Amino acid sequence: MAFWILMTDHPAVAYRPRTPALRSLFSKVAASVLPAMLLVSTAQAAPQGRQVQLRDITDIQGVRDNQLVGYGLVVGLRGTGDRQQTFFTVQTLANEMQRMGVQISPGQVVVKNIAAVFVTAALPPFAHPGMKVDITVSSVGDARSLEGGVLLMTSLRGPDGQVYAEAQGALALGGYSEGTGGNVRSVNQPNVGRIPEGAIVEREASVDLSRFRTVSFMLRSSDFTAARDIADVVNKEFGKPIAVAQDSRTISVDVQGSGVSSVPTLISRIQALSIRFQAPAKVVVNERTGTIVMGGAVTLSPVSVMHGSLSIQVETVHEVSQPLPFSNTGTTTPVENTTVAVKDAPAQSIRLEDGADVDDLIRGLHAIGATSHDIVAILQAIKAAGGLQADLEVI
Condensed to tens digits (0 to 9), the pLDDT of residues 55-87 reads 999 999 989 899 999 999 999 998 888 887 777
> 65-76: buried (b, 16+ CB within 10 Å) or exposed (e) per residue?
eeebebebbbbb
- What mean pLDDT is predicted for residues 333-337? 69
Q: What is the pLDDT of residue 5?
A: 39
For residue 285, give the nearest of 372, 381, 384, 389 by alpha carbon.
372
Nearest alpha-carbon partner for 63 in 125, 155, 130, 150: 125
Amino acid letter at 305? V
Mean pLDDT for the chain overall: 79
Pairwise CA distance, residues 189 & 198, whole Å: 20
Dist. CA 54–CA 218, nearest whole Å: 10
Which amino acid type is present at position 65? D
- Region of 145 (left: φ > 0; alpha: ψ -120 to 50; beta: rest) is beta
Taking the C-alpha atoms of residue 284 and residue 301, their distance in angstroms, rounded to an integer, is 19
pLDDT in the model for residue 334: 72
Question: Could you give the CA distance from residue 187 to residue 368 in angstroms, rounded to a whole number?
Answer: 35
What integer pLDDT is reported at residue 281 of this predicted model? 81
Verdict on whether the full-model pTM lies above 0.85? no
Determine the pLDDT at residue 326.
67
For residues 338-363, average pLDDT: 69
CA dihedral 36, 39, 43, 46 (to 10 degrees): 160
Model pLDDT, residue 139: 93
Residues 6+ apart with CB under 8 A from 242: 234, 235, 253, 254, 257, 258
Strands 114-123 and 50-53: unpaired
Reported for 44-48, long-range contacts at CB under 8 A and 24+ positions apart, including other chains, are 47/278, 47/297, 48/276, 48/278
CA-closest candidate to residue 122, choices 183, 66, 163: 66
Mean pLDDT of the region 360-384: 77
What is the per-residue pLDDT for 23? Answer: 58
Give the range among 172-176, 355-359, 363-367, 379-383 with minimum mean pLDDT. 355-359
SS3 104: coil
What confidence score (pLDDT) does residue 318 get? 63
Phi, psi dihedrals of residue 125, rounded to the nearest 5°: -65, 150
pLDDT at 134 over 90: yes
